[in-house]
Amino acid sequence: MARYFTHWSALFVLLTLTTSLTALTAQQTAVANRNSAGDRTLLEFALGYLKGDSESRYFDALVDLNGDGTNELIVHVVGRWVCGTGGCNTYIFTRDDKGPRLVTDVTLTRPPIRVLKETTNGWRSLAVQVSGGGIRPFEAELQFDGNTYEGNPSVAPARPGDGSKPGQIVIPRFQSMLEGKQFPAVTR
């Protein structure tokens, strides 16, 4: 009799686990699909906002910077008409209940662009390379002030770092701007 209940108990546990895993997988799929559609909308908004020319390129990364379960979009734009000796612009876009929006436009940046583990005001800090234009090269840490990130990493309140803070490279160094993605054709 005990053996009979043990088999049924094992079968019940197995059936419960299978049902739970199926529900979890369905939930994860729904979240992934929602994020995927939202990610496409965010990228379309960003590309429309930036309106790159035929010679410019961009590098992008989707990452959840504020821990809300939805990705923000980091876009680093390169090209001879959009960059200077100090670097190029990096843009951060997010979406909220009002739709997609620009969080910040950071000038004078170079890859690698890293998302750090530490957070300030609920958003992950960023690290960008700063060099050129007579500046001694360094990694600058950009913190979120509650509304935006610092717009110029070569001056305060951006903080010089030494690259030792833990984080993840989201936009790596590249050899040529041609490695970047082309902007969609602009009709004028």
Per-residue pLDDT of 70-108, as tens digits, reads 999 999 999 988 898 889 999 999 998 889 999 999 999
Question: What's the token pair of residue 36?
Answer: 């995927």
Task: Report pLDDT digits (tens) over 128-138.
Answer: 999 887 778 88
Half-sphere exposure of 14 (CA within 13 A, CB side): 6
What pLDDT is attached to residue 63?
Answer: 96
pTM here is 0.78
| Residue 12 identity (one-letter amino acid) | F
Which whole number is the average pLDDT over 113-131? 95
pLDDT band at 159 (very low <50, low <70, confident <90, very high): confident
